[in-house]
Amino acid sequence: MNRHQRRVAKAKGIDKKLDHVIAIHETGHAVAGVLSAADFGRPAEEMISHIDVATGENLGESYFDKSVTLRSQAVTYGPTLSAELQAVFDRTTQGVDQNKLTKQHIVGHSQDRQG
């Protein structure tokens, strides 16, 4: 990005620099992921897949103050489920096209077992 492009971006409110508070916040998510690896039944190396910075995705309005628009500044990605729960999920959804996977595939199966 040249100087002119930086000035235009700044005038539009687009800043490519990551705020230190946001960086430390995302670091906390990453550290928590690594420290909880044993609880997830996974090696620490698998707990963080990547961190997206400055995505700028609009997340909507604040629940508390509708005049505030929430915008994503960084996101830490990694597994959501423990290895054991992931195995159950994989068995439950086996043969289902992942693009067509819905909540009903999960809820329906758990209700079948209960009833």
**The pairing of beta strand 50-53 with beta strand 58-61:** unpaired
On whether both 66 and 98 belong to a single domain, the answer is: no
Q: 33-66 pLDDT, tens per residue?
A: 999 999 999 999 999 999 988 777 788 888 888 8
On whether both 40 and 95 belong to a single domain, the answer is: no
On whether both 27 and 60 belong to a single domain, the answer is: yes
Residue 58 CB partners (closer than 8 Å, separation 6+)? 69, 70, 71, 72
State the residue range of the domain holding 62. Answer: 1-79
On whether both 54 and 1 belong to a single domain, the answer is: yes
Give this prediction's pTM: 0.63
User: DSSP strand E in 2-87: where?
Assistant: 50-53, 58-61, 69-71, 74-77
Distances from the Cα of 10 to the Cα of 4, 73, 82, 87, 113, angstroms: 10, 16, 42, 47, 56
On whether both 64 and 24 belong to a single domain, the answer is: yes
Q: How is residue 77 annotated by DSSP?
A: E
On whether both 2 and 15 belong to a single domain, the answer is: yes
Residue type, 60: G
Distance, in Å, from the CA atom of 30 to the CA atom of 50, rounded to the nearest integer, reads: 9
Per-residue pLDDT of the chain (115 residues; tens, 9 = 90+): 678 777 777 766 665 677 889 889 999 999 999 999 999 999 999 999 999 887 777 888 888 888 888 888 889 999 999 999 999 888 888 888 888 888 877 776 555 555 4
On whether both 37 and 3 belong to a single domain, the answer is: yes
